């Protein structure tokens, strides 16, 4: 009986520690899976979120934001970037894109803001904002910060890398889709380009 009791006690102890080990391993696996999932949504070059994140995650985040806050979408495009790549080479272009991405991140709030490499030299932002004026001020500040960084670009009339932005503002409770807001931000971006680049333009349904 004593031997049986000791054996049973050892079995229970071993089972207990086996469960602890399994639970620890499961937590480590879950953490690794979460990290891998995050990497799937990160652009390797810039460190921003990628187009897959935009397509898979942003519509849900937009709906969540719209329920209780004002939101803004911004579309940025680096001016004369083709000329930059042609003159300085693509490795330099990659470095410039990294620098622009850092300036973009630094100019945005750290919470409730998602910066995405939309494609090529186009960068997209979804953010909660307190007002339309604040949204425009943020976009203008990012354009200004890049201009002050003075990254030379001999292919630009400005002599340095600049960026253009189009943005659209959506008040709380509005239910515009991601596609609609992106289209409007892109339209405002083209207005910035037409007006000389190196500026931010707020979308207007009937611009003057």
Positions annotated as catalytic residues are: 121
Helix (H, G, I), strand (E, B) or coil at 95: helix
Rounded Cα distance, 54 and 58, in Å? 5
Helix (H, G, I), strand (E, B) or coil at 23: helix
Among 107, 111, 164, residue whose Cα is nearest residue 135? 107
Let me know if 132 is exposed, middle or buried by CB neighbors in 10 A (0-12, 13-18, 19+). Answer: middle
Tell me which H or E stretch contains 77: strand 70-78
């Amino acid at each position: 009986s004593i031997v049986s009791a000791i054996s049973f006690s050892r079995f229970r102890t071993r089972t207990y520690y086996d469960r602890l080990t399994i639970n620890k391993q499961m937590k480590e696996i879950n953490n690794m899976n979460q990290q891998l999932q995050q990497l799937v949504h990160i652009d390797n070059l810039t460190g921003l979120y990628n187009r897959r994140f935009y397509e898979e995650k942003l519509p849900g985040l937009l709906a969540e934001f719209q329920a209780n806050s004002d939101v803004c979408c911004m579309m940025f495009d680096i001016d004369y970037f083709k000329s930059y790549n042609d003159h300085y080479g693509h490795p330099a272009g990659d470095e410039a894109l990294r620098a622009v991405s850092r300036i973009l991140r630094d100019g945005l709030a750290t919470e409730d803001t998602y910066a995405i490499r939309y494609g090529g030299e186009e960068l997209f932002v979804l953010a909660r904002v307190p007002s339309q004026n604040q949204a425009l001020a943020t976009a203008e500040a990012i354009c200004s910060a890049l201009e002050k960084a003075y990254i030379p670009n001999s292919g630009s009339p400005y002599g340095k890398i600049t960026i253009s932005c189009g943005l659209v503002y959506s008040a709380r409770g509005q239910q515009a889709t991601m596609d609609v807001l992106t289209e409007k931000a892109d339209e405002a971006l083209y207005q910035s380009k037409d007006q000389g680049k190196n500026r931010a333009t707020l979308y207007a349904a009937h611009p003057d």
